Amino acid sequence: SYRPASAFSVRMLASKSRKKGTGHCIVAQMPYIRAEIPIVILFRALGSVTDRDIMDHVIYNMEDTEMLELLRPSLEEASGIQTQELALDYIGKRSGITGATKEKRISYAREVLMKETLPHCGVGERCFTKKTFFVGYMTHKLLSLALGRRDQDDRDFGGNKRFDMAGQLLVG
C-alpha cells in the first residue's frame, strides 16, 4: 500500500502503573482509540486468538525463558478476552463513540484496524496477517530492548527517517 505510516506505538508500562500490578504489561496506542490497548487484546482482534499463536509471533525461540517471563503479565491481563469478537468489542468501547450498540462498536474497531492502524502494511481485512506479524516484530524488538539485547534506535540517524521523494510530491 502507498499510504503513509500512522501514529501507532507499542510500549511497556512500569509494573506499578496498572491496577493489577502483575508486572510489566505491554500496551499499544492506536489512532482514533482513546485508551491504550493491551497488546494481547490487539493480537486477538487481528485474529491470533490462542496464547501459543501470539507467542509464536513475538518470541522466536520458545526456550527463551526471559522473554517468556516478560510477556506473561500481558497474557495474564488479557485472560478474560479469548475471542476476536470480544477483543474488537473491547477496542470499540475505548473509542470515541458513545452509546453505540455492540455491533457498531465491533464494526468501528474493525474499520480502525483495517484502515487506520498500520496502513503501510495494507488496508483491508486480508492484511490482518501482515499487521499481526509487524506488531509481533515490534513487540519482539521492545522485549529485546528491555532485556538489554539490543540498543535503542537512534531517531536522528537518516536510515531511520522517512523521506518523501520529489516524484511522490509532484503526483500527490
The three cell numbers of residue 5 are: 505510516
The three cell numbers of residue 128 are: 490482518
Domains in the chain, ordered, with CATH?
Answer: 9-151 (3.90.1110.10)
> How many angstroms separate the CA atoms of 60 and 150, rounded?
15
Query: Is the per-residue pLDDT at 44 higher than 70?
Result: yes
> How many angstroms separate the CA atoms of 92 and 168, rounded?
35
**Neighbour-count burial of 101, counting CB atoms closer than 10 A to its CB (0-12 exposed, 13-18 middle, 19+ buried):** exposed
Q: Which residue has the cell 470499540?
A: 92
Q: What is the pLDDT of residues 64-101, one digit of tens each?
A: 999 999 999 999 999 999 999 999 999 999 998 888 89
**Neighbour-count burial of 18, counting CB atoms closer than 10 A to its CB (0-12 exposed, 13-18 middle, 19+ buried):** middle
The pTM of this model reads 0.85
Q: What is the pLDDT of residues 149-167, one digit of tens each?
A: 988 877 776 776 666 677 6
Closest CA to 10 of 108, 131, 149: 131
> How many angstroms separate the CA atoms of 11 and 138, rounded?
10
Q: Which residue has the cell 509487524?
A: 134
**Neighbour-count burial of 146, counting CB atoms closer than 10 A to its CB (0-12 exposed, 13-18 middle, 19+ buried):** middle
